Amino acid sequence: MSFTVEVREKDGLRSLHFGSAWMQGAMRVDSPFDLVFEYTRVMMAALLLREGDFQKEVLLIGLGAGSQAKFLYKHRPSAHMTVVEIEPRVVEVAKESFCLPDDPARLEVVIGDGVEFVYQTDKRYDLIMVDGFNDHSHPGDLNTLPFYRACRERLTDRGVLAVNLIGLSDGVKGGFAFIETAFEQRAVRFPRCASGNTIAFAATGAPIDIALDELQARVLKEDSGLALLLMLDRLATLPACAEGRLRI
């Protein structure tokens, strides 16, 4: 896979593009470790679904501008992250223009295919985040039942999967149906973001059963700029949040 990788900057916002107007990642120059896009903040709700800093081993499929890797690097100092990115130039640009830390002991970057990596690794992860797309904003083989089943096998007994389902869930379940099947219905889609992104979560091991009030309290306690309260207010409309509790 090869495509044009561009960096643009306007009004303090530096953005990554794959040869089009669509942003594949962004960073505020004066706050490089903050999350610019709502959908990236929603994906980080995965950090709040279980008590404590359970995320010791984290796998991220897709680097982009490195926003999520940088956020975890700053706010989860005890975590070890592995990021798999298929396009070498994206890795170079993330380091050169988006302040991606050079710290292999905590942040390991692998250039390769995320699907093949998950199929071949024997390592297990507490958190897997899937946010990989080509220059046409399509996830390719990342959005398949075999891949999500492989993700489940690679999670620990307290594991959480977070997936960006942009373009796959308008009017139909799209890739979420694969996630539900792979995780035996232990999955939930959060309400769609204004950008069109829909974030799905799935879990293994011990059930997740948390009051929405407690989830909001954890957001406030996190104190990391997640700004998720409006999204959490909308969770009460989901079947998975009956009786004011999120159950996965």
**What is the C-alpha separation between 124 and 138, in angstroms, rounded?**
26
Q: Could you give the 3-state DSSP secondary structure of residue 48? A: helix
Number of residues that this document lists for the chain: 248
Report which residue type is found at 93. Answer: V
Contacts of 188 (CB under 8 A, 6+ apart): 200, 201, 202, 238, 240, 241, 246, 248
Residue 233 tokens, joined? 């207010």
Indicate which residue of 11, 113, 131, 170 is catalytic: 131
Residue 7 tokens, joined? 């960096």
**What is the C-alpha separation between 192 and 88, in angstroms, rounded?**
31
Known catalytic residue: 30?
no
Known catalytic residues are 131
